[in-house]
Amino acid sequence: MSNYVLDDLDRDIVRELEQDGRKALREIGRNLDTSEATVRARVKRLQDLNILRIVAFADPESLGRTQLGIVFLEVEPSRHQEVVEAVSALPEVTYVSTVLGRADICVEILSTDNTALWTILNEKIGRLPGVKHMETTSVLKVHKLRYVTPPGALGSSGASVQGAG
The pLDDT assigned to 140 comes to 85
Gap between the Cα atoms of 158 and 165, Å rounded? 20
Count other Cβ atoms within 10 Å, centred on residue 64. 7
**Per-residue confidence of the chain (165 residues) as pLDDT tens digits?**
457 788 999 999 999 998 889 999 999 999 999 999 999 999 999 999 988 988 877 777 777 668 889 999 999 999 999 999 999 999 999 999 999 999 999 999 999 888 999 999 999 999 999 999 999 999 888 888 777 777 766 665 444 444 443
97, 106 contact by CB (below 8 A): yes
The pLDDT assigned to 165 comes to 38
Q: Amino acid identity, residue 38?
A: T
Under DSSP, is residue 12 helix (H, G, I), strand (E, B) or coil? helix
**Burial letters for 106-134: b for 16+ Cβ neighbours within 10 Å, e otherwise?**
ebbbbbeeeebbeebbeebbeebebbeeb
Spatial CA neighbour of 109 closest among 60, 62, 56, 68: 68
Q: What is the DSSP string of 94-157?
A: EEEEE--SS-SEEEEEEESSHHHHHHIIIIIITTSTTEEEEEEEEE---------PPTTTT-ST
